[in-house]
Amino acid sequence: MRIAHKFIFDRDSRFRPMRKEFDLDHPDPKDHLAKNWRNEQSFYELALLEFVRLYGPTGGTFFDVGANVGNHTIFLASMVADCVVSVEPCPEALFALRQNIAKNKLSNCLTVDCAVGDRTGQAALNVRAENSHNLGSTSVQARRDCEEKTVQTKTLDRIWSDISEATKGALKYIKLDIEGAELPALRGGADILQRYAPHVSAEAASSEELDALCKYLYDFGYVKVGCFGATPHYYFINPEKRPLSGDLSTPMCKIIRCASQRVWKLCEYFG
């Protein structure tokens, strides 16, 4: 499947119409993600991705945790990051992820086949039968209605220790979409949060999950600055160590907000 991504403004709000095409394949044409590509003819969660491109960090290393088949990885590796580390435990998704990286001729991606948590060990990989057309719903939480496979789990700190010599520059951004395991993953990344203060976007499906993320990250100097998507992804930064890089009053910022019915919202950092 070929999708096109169109840019409207650059970081300085100058009009620059451009067109770049990407090849993205999915093993299940009925999957939620594949349907979105067909319907929108662009990347899934585009408002979040454009926010990262325009106002997030540039260069360095980005983590895509819960990479699925590579929607976020392909965009970030093509647009902003020197290196993207894509972490995905599901074998079917991992195979498609590696294919998509190769089809788009990206040499700045590393794939890691494990789950992420607050400790290193083993976990049950669960694919829910009722969500058979949503590969992204794969989780590592045991349930009776799931088909279980054993996968290795690692902490973010351990993954960074294992691959840091093969990456380029400091860790600047972490995206987490791992079906409710975002907080344990961040607990296993205390060292990199303290050392690098990367921007963090994490899914939180409930107010309780969001409150727990905010409380944990607050101790590292983070504040919540944005919200994107249907199942919200919240954007966190440490404004003292790694602030946003763009002007949020620019036309591009307004276009990002108008481009999605599920607009992102400014929060505490900007009053």
Chunked in runs of 10, what are the mean pLDDT values of the chain (271 residues)?
49 46 85 84 86 92 96 93 96 93 95 94 71 52 54 95 87 94 97 98 94 97 90 92 79 50 42 34
pLDDT for 9:
36
DSSP string, 144-195: TTEEEEEEEEE-HHHHHHHHGGGS-S-EEEEEE-STT-HHHHHHTTHHHHHH
pLDDT score, position 38? 82
What's the Rg (C-alpha) of the chain?
18
> What is the rounded distance in angstroms from the CA atom of residue 196 to the CA atom of residue 241?
8
What the block records as the tokens of 39 is 């319907």
pLDDT at position 260, please?
42
Pick from 96, 92, 97: nearest CA to 109: 97
Pairing, β 233-237 against β 199-203: antiparallel
Per-residue confidence (pLDDT) for residue 14, from 0 to 100? 39
Predicted confidence at residue 267, as pLDDT, reads 44
With CA atoms as reference, report the closest residue to 259 among 7, 3, 2: 7
Confidence (pLDDT) at 236: 96
What's the pTM value of the predicted model, to 2 decimals?
A: 0.84
> How much is the pLDDT for 86?
98
Q: What is the pLDDT of residue 21?
A: 78
Q: What is the pLDDT of residue 235?
A: 96
In this prediction, residue 268 carries a pLDDT of: 40
In 3-state terms, what secondary structure has residue 51? helix
